[in-house]
């Protein structure tokens, strides 16, 4: 096992795997460059390829002895038009265009829309956006058989281009048959997180949660304006949130996305749920070895906002410079977190603790680390809930998460400030203190004479019993004892 030094930052990096990065050699290079978690995009590739990718990620995990989270991102119910006689057609600016239920190939005047649930739902004045918003249609009238539109923005339309319906809640399930197959596959492969696409309402999470059977964590992707209207309910029913700015930016005006990003990040942080900012963060690095200044500022702003993780999409999946993209994202995050104003900025959001003992103690960890010179908060947890409570407070020092559960350790790879270690369970207060000291020394968080905060629940092994906080001083000889 190769020695691995803790990351010099608290925000996490999530990288998408694709043709440019799925080789075992590149996955290892990306991990060493700074990746904490990998996203497997179920919209592309087949299950055999994904299985090989997951096995390669687990091999990296074993080689370096570090938990790595795998997020399996489901495709979701993407709406698409049908096909065209010549594979494509041109919709005239200002002209009329019809979406109907006819089976025959389309032309410049019409095309099939193979989604019967949209007919009769659409109303005059509502919008239909095609090909990521490049074509913008406005409904003139709609019936059970056809939707007549005017083309506010025309252009070339081709086979099976995606359709966005920003002004209506579309009555389609959040999971397609393909998603159900992919979800079962991801669970069998031991994925740590499931990304649920195109969530519109809290009820959309129910089927996925049921099919997961108590395994894995559920990340709701916020990419529909309808989801924002019921954001708090969706956050409550999920384990984490992704600000998926791609489709969100299609269905909204561009200037509406930044305030929404801050709103979503803030709401997730209030709830103590991990939140990921995703899409086009270093987009120019798909082809360029260096980002634009605007992209650097975009990543930095997400870090300043206190996001738990920032994500790379095509930059690492299909780009020419995957390792460089991770390296620069790591450098941006480290630089931001070294800013003397960072802690004040990341705590601009008031996250008062709930009226529970566990939340009060998590809040105390923050205030103690601000008052006394503390090197780390050592958290003993089975489920990870105590770690999430501490992370919610954004303490000034790293969090060493000790857990007997590999599942919990991997899940924490997307949690702000967490360095998780899967280790043998503890049975007493004395054992907890001794192990916390050893692990802090072993993993480079402290040395002799340093102070640590220990947070846990007594009796041990009882979920939700966090009731103990203790400040300890290391002598430096604790490493004489060896354990797992």
Choice among 7, 9, 12, 39 that is catalytic: 39
CATH of 357-480, one of 1.10.3470.10, 3.40.1380.20, 3.40.50.720, 3.40.50.300: 3.40.1380.20
Helices (H), 213-321: 225-229, 231-237, 245-251, 257-271, 293-304, 314-317
What is the pLDDT, as a whole number, of residue 426?
A: 83
What is the pLDDT, as a whole number, of residue 476?
A: 67
What is the pLDDT, as a whole number, of residue 482?
A: 52
Give Dmax over CA atoms of the chain in angstroms. Answer: 79
Choice among 58, 63, 80, 347 that is catalytic: 80
221 is catalytic: yes
What is the pLDDT, as a whole number, of residue 349?
A: 77
What is the pLDDT, as a whole number, of residue 465?
A: 73
Q: Which whole-number Å values give the CA distances from 114 to 42, 150, 250, 353, 415, in the listed order?
A: 22, 20, 21, 49, 40
351 is catalytic: no
What is the pLDDT, as a whole number, of residue 467?
A: 84
Predicted structure pTM score: 0.93
Q: In what helix (H) or strand (E) does residue 437 lie, and over which residues does it extend?
A: helix 429-442
Cα atoms in the 13 Å half-sphere on the side-chain side of 340: 0
Mean pLDDT of the chain: 94
CATH of domain 12-76+174-341: 3.20.20.60
Determine the length of the chain. Answer: 484
Sign of CA dihedral 401, 403, 406, 408: negative
Choice among 9, 12, 136, 279 that is catalytic: 279
39 is catalytic: yes
Q: Which of 73, 55, 65 is nearest to 410 (CA)?
A: 65
- Strand, coil or helix: what is 152? strand
Residue ranges, the chain, pLDDT below 70: 461-462, 464, 476, 478-484
d(CA 382, CA 267): 25
Sorted by where each begins, the domain ranges of the chain are 12-76+174-341, 79-164, 357-480
pLDDT tens digit string along 117-155? 999 899 999 999 999 999 999 999 999 999 999 999 999
The answer to whether residues 353 and 360 touch, using CB atoms and an 8 Å cutoff, is yes
The answer to whether residues 166 and 128 touch, using CB atoms and an 8 Å cutoff, is no
CA distance between the termini of the chain:
14
Choice among 110, 221, 245, 438 that is catalytic: 221
The answer to whether residues 16 and 39 touch, using CB atoms and an 8 Å cutoff, is yes
80 is catalytic: yes
Topology classification of domain 79-164: M1 Pyruvate Kinase; Domain 3 (2.40.33)
Q: Which of 271, 465, 237 is nearest to 351 (CA)?
A: 271
Adjacent-strand bridge partners of 155: 91
Q: Which of 5, 12, 98 is nearest to 410 (CA)?
A: 12
Respond yes or no on whether the N-terminal peptide bond of residue 459 is cis (omega within 30° of 0).
yes
């Amino acid at each position: 096992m190769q020695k691995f030094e803790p990351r010099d930052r608290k925000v996490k990096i999530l990288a998408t795997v694709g043709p440019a990065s799925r080789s075992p050699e590149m996955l290892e290079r990306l991990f060493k460059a700074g990746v904490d978690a990998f996203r497997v995009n179920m919209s592309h590739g087949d299950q055999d390829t994904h299985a090989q990718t997951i096995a390669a990620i687990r091999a990296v995990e074993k080689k370096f002895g570090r938990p790595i989270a795998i997020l399996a991102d489901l495709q979701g119910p993407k709406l698409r038009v049908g096909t065209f006689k010549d594979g494509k057609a041109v919709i005239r600016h200002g002209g009329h265009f019809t979406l109907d239920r006819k089976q025959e190939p389309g032309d410049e005047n019409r095309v099939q829309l193979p989604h019967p649930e949209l007919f009769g739902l659409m109303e005059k004045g509502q919008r239909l956006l095609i090909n990521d918003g490049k074509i913008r249609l406005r409904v003139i009238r709609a019936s059970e058989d056809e939707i007549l539109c005017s083309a506010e923005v025309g252009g070339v339309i081709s086979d099976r281009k995606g359709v966005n319906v920003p002004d209506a809640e579309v009555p389609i399930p959040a999971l397609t048959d393909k998603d159900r197959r992919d979800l079962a596959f991801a669970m069998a492969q031991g994925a740590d997180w499931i990304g649920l696409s195109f969530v519109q309402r809290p009820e959309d999470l129910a089927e996925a949660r049921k099919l997961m059977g108590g395994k894995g964590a559920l990340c709701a992707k916020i990419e529909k304006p309808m989801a924002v209207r019921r954001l708090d309910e969706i956050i409550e029913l999920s384990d984490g949130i992704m600000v998926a700015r791609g489709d969100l930016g299609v269905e909204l005006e561009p200037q509406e996305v930044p305030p929404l990003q801050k709103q979503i990040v803030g709401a997730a942080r209030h709830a103590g749920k991990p939140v990921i900012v995703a899409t086009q963060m270093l987009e120019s690095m798909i082809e360029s070895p260096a980002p634009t200044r605007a992209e650097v500022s975009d990543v930095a702003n997400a870090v300043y906002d206190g996001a738990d993780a920032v994500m790379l999409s095509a930059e690492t999946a299909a780009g020419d410079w995957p390792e460089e993209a991770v390296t620069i994202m790591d450098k941006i995050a480290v630089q931001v977190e070294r800013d003397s104003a960072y802690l004040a900025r990341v705590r601009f959001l008031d996250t008062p603790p709930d009226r529970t003992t566990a939340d009060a103690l998590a809040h105390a960890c923050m205030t103690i680390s601000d008052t006394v010179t503390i090197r780390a908060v050592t958290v003993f947890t089975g489920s990870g809930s105590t770690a999430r409570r501490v992370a919610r407070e954004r303490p000034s020092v790293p969090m060493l998460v000790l857990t007997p559960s590999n599942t919990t350790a991997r899940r924490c790879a997307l949690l702000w400030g967490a360095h998780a270690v899967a280790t043998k369970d503890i049975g007493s207060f004395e054992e907890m203190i001794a192990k916390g000291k050893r692990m802090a020394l072993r993993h480079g968080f402290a040395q002799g004479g340093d102070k640590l905060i220990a947070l846990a629940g007594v009796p041990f092994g009882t979920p939700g019993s966090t009731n103990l906080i203790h400040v300890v001083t290391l002598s430096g000889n604790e490493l004489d004892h060896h354990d797992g």
